[in-house]
Amino acid sequence: MNGLVRGCDGDHSRPSRRLYLVHVHLAPHPSGAPLPMEAAAVITRAAPPETAILHATVHPSDGPVPAVGIFLESAAPELAESAARVAWWTAVGMQPHLAEWNLLSASVALAPGTAW
């Protein structure tokens, strides 16, 4: 199939993608408020369709900083990290109060070929 994945009806194709888990790490809120659990739904709704987010979940206190875990499809780990950052900033655009948690990093936590 020349590196393309066909849609179930056979009429659609796109570059081959793999599933990645990207952790978006955020600075703690200035007042210590926890990251709202609904941030995951906002990220999922806000993401452009080409971002291919399958699931997002909030970890209000993932160690010293809050984090959002985003499962998404991407052609490469770097693109997955970039897509997660775009998803966060798009969510901030929809819900400006989320800007109170500054983006620190977005990094692939699980990738194809690693232990799931």
Helix (H) or strand (E) holding 97: none
User: Residue 52 falls within a domain, yes or no?
Assistant: yes
User: Residue 93 falls within a domain, yes or no?
Assistant: yes
| Number of folded domains that form the chain | 1
User: Residue 17 falls within a domain, yes or no?
Assistant: no
Q: Label residue 13 by pLDDT band (50, 70, 90).
A: low
User: Residue 94 falls within a domain, yes or no?
Assistant: yes
What is the C-alpha to C-alpha distance for residues 66 and 35, in angstroms, rounded to an integer? 7
User: Residue 9 falls within a domain, yes or no?
Assistant: no
Q: What is the mean pLDDT of the chain?
A: 83
What pLDDT is recorded for position 62?
Answer: 57
User: Residue 65 falls within a domain, yes or no?
Assistant: yes
User: Residue 36 falls within a domain, yes or no?
Assistant: yes
Going by C-beta distance under 8 Å and a sequence separation of 6 or more, which residues neighbour residue 90? 43, 46, 47, 48
- List the alpha helices (DSSP H) in the chain: 39-46, 77-94
User: Does the predicted model carry a pTM greater than 0.85?
Assistant: no
What is the C-alpha to C-alpha distance for residues 63 and 82, in angstroms, rounded to an integer? 23
Residue 90 has pLDDT above 50, yes or no: yes
What is the C-alpha to C-alpha distance for residues 41 and 9, in angstroms, rounded to an integer? 29
User: Residue 59 falls within a domain, yes or no?
Assistant: yes
What pLDDT is recorded for position 72?
Answer: 93
Domain membership of residue 99 as a residue range: 23-110
List, for residues 17-67, the tens digit of each pLDDT value: 899 999 999 999 999 899 999 999 999 998 878 788 999 999 987 567 899
